[in-house]
Structure 1
């Protein structure tokens, strides 16, 4: 793991990602709300070059601008976990619309590959001794399940608000970022083997529009929406009544015959 000390070094890392055409990107924030919290640390993992960690509080807003250029470069695949959150932070902090391109979210990829699967765990019910538990798609779970790597689960947003951030915390974040590219390779193969390319493509391309809608909101004509809901409900009631009438007629015909 290499800690970035200057904007010039950071520019070199971003340029390296552009040359290779792929990178893992991990962002650590001071909270969960992209409008109220900030991005503190950015970790970029490059194939065969390790992980570079940059304290964005120290490098300033120019470092975010460099990151924005990378996110809009469709020649470079950016591998993230729960990309929607990271992209929302980037757009909110830069204060402008970003055209995110070629983002691979390993959490979404995992959800696509494991759709319909669940774990059976013991239940306290005597009637049903087992209950379904959804598959865990957290980065910690994915790293352990697919790579055999155990990651620290104890990182708290509060710790990223401190000045300065401890080296232990930075190393932990870098280790998390280091798992992104191997996980991408794993899920890319699972998607191919299970013929899920089309589904995965739709899910991944939907990330940017969802980020835009969640940050900016969408216009809704409340009156028209309520009117439409009432019309659909009335149509449903009529359909049920018609079905019941048909059933009565059918039963009557049987009784008479």
Structure 2
């Protein structure tokens, strides 16, 4: 292992920094007193440059003056390499330190190389073993870093920074070989934004959420009684021993038996089984009950447990490459699953004098399809600023654009999203009902499918191009790799390309936002699929809107040559877009 130098006074730090300023690459790692940057503190900052000893800087001993000197180094032009960099960046933010890129993250690099297969682990220990042949002992990771430090602890800390430096050197040729340099840059550049939105978190109105949960629970109970009544159980009373002889709505077997007693030809009680029979009052009531029960279960009092004791905000954990396509995933809590219903989103609020800005790409996945296929009709519609769902509705029904009804547009929405991902007629009819509440017969779905591909011929040819494609990988427009263990279905290929490219565009925008918003006091507080959430001052709202719009619309231009990527921005005191008074 490379030797280290313990830096615990400003004189030694000055000497070390003089040497490190000349280094083109710095591998950084932190040892902290815990995992929460709002409750715990960073103790050591280790810096390896692959030449001299690893600098193990005692942040507690160095104080504010030492941190200012370190900040000059961290904002210099050297590449900053991390492993799981968002963790370190959040703790550095807690000290007021904001390293500037370029960045490199060995964990993200490994995930990119994996291509969504999920066949390997991406921990520092796993990468050291796989790429360097080293076995790392992580016993001291959870040791006490708050008091006097032993030599073993200092050696442990220095080793991780040195290993990160060596891993970067080992991973670069692999990224080049796999054509992942551009995709890696997108991911690495996005690191500060991910750290910022986790550290900042979102405000949650505890009282409003509790009231909403109580309302949802009451609605669920009303639906429960209505359903039991329709199943013939509503009038039954509990027996003297307290056991109620009624259908257990959580038992699929009992619910199925009760529905069959109504003469319904069901083989199961899944949503797919139930939707074709949704005209039956009991089936409709069961679907309503389950929807309410899901809201209570997923978004009830459990969300309040995530309110931070110090900040009184929720700080989700975003997995930057959370899906095989490259899309974000979110947990603790999963804000990406918060219903779009304004009642729920209105509970997420900005503090007095500030607003939440919600910036959403318009029909981004369909725009990606237009770019990938270069379909003339689709591309032309987007260039003219038309609503593609209305256009498709017009083409499917033969009505003029001005005569398209909201119901026609909703059906066209199902057709657009279903058919660009190569659904057959039967699956399209099912998808329209499940996802958009549109009742389509299989014959109608077949007719719409035929008309869709007649008008969007390049999309049909794109699908056809995969018919004899036996390759086990796809690429997004920026080169992100999606690997498959076996020949993928057509829908999987299309989804990987389209959803992955949309994720690339969003991450490109996230990367550019922090520097664009610098000096405005605005911070990124969340990201939900094709949407970015920013919190900023009411007094600077116009400036913030302009900067967000400019950055997001520019983000996709490198890959979206023929199709614009407009952004819709709404703002208010809550995510529910209540306007400021």
Q: TM-score, normalised by structure 2?
A: 0.36
3-state SS of 1:27 partner: strand
Asked whether 1:173 is paired with 2:127, we answer no
Instruction: Check the 8 A contact 2:10/2:66 in 1, yes or no.
Output: yes
Instruction: Give yes or no for the alignment of 1:62 onto 2:177.
Output: no
2:71–2:99 CA contact under 8 A, matched in 1: no
- SS of alignment partner, residue 117 of structure 1: coil
Question: Kindly tell me: are residues 156 and 225 of structure 1, through their superposed partners in 2, closer, same or farther at Cα, counting changes over 3 Å?
Answer: same
Q: 1:159 aligns to what?
A: 144
Distance 1:93 1:242 in 2: 57
Query: 24, 28, 38: which one pairs with 1:25?
Result: 28
Asked if the contact 1:50/1:178 (under 8 Å) is kept, the reply is no
Structure 1 residue 5: Cα displacement: 3.7
Q: Say whether the 8 Å CA contact 1:42–1:53 is kept in structure 2.
A: yes
Distance in 2 of aligned mates of 1:198 and 1:88: 25
Q: Could you tell me whether the CA contact under 8 Å between 1:42 and 1:55 is conserved in 2?
A: yes
Q: Are the aligned partners of 1:78 and 1:102 in contact in 2 as well (CA < 8 Å)?
A: yes
Given that 1:29 and 1:157 are in contact with CA atoms closer than 8 Å, whether structure 2 keeps it comes out as: no
The answer as to whether partners of 2:105 and 2:188 remain within 8 angstroms in 1 is: yes
Query: Residues 243 and 108 of structure 1: is their aligned pair in 2 closer, same or farther, counting only changes over 3 Å?
Result: farther
Q: In the alignment, is the contact (CA less than 8 A) between 2:47 and 2:56 conserved in 1?
A: yes
The 1:241/1:35 distance shift into structure 2, 3 A limit, reads same
Q: Hey, what does 2:110 align to over in structure 1?
A: 110
TM-score (normalised: structure 1): 0.78
1:241 Cα deviation (Å)?
A: 2.0
Question: How many Å apart are 1:210 and its aligned residue?
Answer: 1.1
Which of 444, 447, 459 lines up with 1:246 in the alignment?
A: 444
The equivalent residue for 2:341 is 226
Q: Is the 8 A contact 2:85 2:105 kept in 1?
A: yes
Cα deviation, residue 219, structure 1: 8.0
Alpha carbons of structure 1 residues 243 and 24: separation in structure 2 relative to 1, 3 Å = farther
Query: Residue 36 in 1 paired to residue 39 in 2?
Result: yes
Count of residue pairs the alignment pairs up: 229
Tell which has more relative contact order, 1 or 2 (C-alpha 8 A, sep 6+): 1
Query: Is the contact between residue 68 and residue 90 of structure 1 (CA under 8 Å) also seen in structure 2?
Result: no
| Pair 198,248 (structure 1): closer, same or farther in 2 beyond 3 Å | closer
Give SS of 1:242's match. Answer: coil
Residue of structure 1 in register with 2:121 after alignment: 136
Structure 1 consecutive aligned stretches of length 4 or more whose deviation exceeds 4 Å: 231-236, 247-250
Distance in 1 (alpha carbons) for counterparts of 2:442 and 2:343:
25
SS at match of 2:95: helix
Whether contact under 8 Å (2:410, 2:438) holds in the other structure is no
Question: What corresponds to 1:83 in structure 2?
Answer: 85
| Alignment partner of 2:130 out of 145, 164, 168 | 145
Answer yes or no: is 1:207 the counterpart of 2:322: no
Rounded to whole Å, the distance in 2 between the matches of 1:139 and 1:249 is: 54
Give the C-alpha shift of residue 89 in structure 1.
Answer: 0.4
Aligned to 2:179: 195
- 46-55 vs 186-195, greater mean Cα deviation: 46-55
Deviation of 1:233 after TM superposition, in Å, equals: 9.1
* Structure 1 residues 227 and 6: CA distance shift in structure 2, 3 A: closer
Find the counterpart in structure 2 of residue 129 from structure 1: none
Deviation, structure 1 residue 150? 1.4
Structure 1 equivalent of residue 15 of structure 2: 12
Deviation digits for residues 2-58 of structure 1, max 9, x if unmatched?
212421221332332221221111110000001111111111112221312122211
CA distance in 2, matches of 1:41, 1:219: 31
Cα distance change of structure 1 residues 9 and 99 upon mapping to structure 2, 3 Å threshold: closer
Q: 1:82 Cα shift?
A: 0.8
- 1:104 partner SS: strand
Which ranges in structure 1 are unaligned for 5 or more consecutive residues?
Answer: 120-134, 251-257
Q: Using the alignment, how far apart are the partners of 2:442 and 2:37 within structure 1?
A: 52
Deviations 1:133-189 (A, max 9, x none): xx211111111110011111112444112x211111111111121112211111111
How far, CA to CA, are the matches of 1:15 and 1:108 in structure 2? 30
Return closer, same or farther for 1:178/1:239 CA change in 2, 3 Å cut-off: same
For 1:106 and 1:175, locate their aligned partners in 2 and report how far apart those are by CA, in whole Å. 15
Tell me what 1:253 maps to: none
- Go from structure 1 to structure 2 and tell me whether the alpha carbon gap of 1:32 and 1:242 turns closer, same or farther (over 3 Å shift): same
Higher mean displacement: 232-241 or 136-145: 232-241
Residue ranges of structure 2 left out of the alignment (5+ in a row): 210-337, 345-405, 414-431, 449-581
Q: Is the contact made by 2:28 and 2:45 (CA closer than 8 Å) also made in structure 1?
A: yes
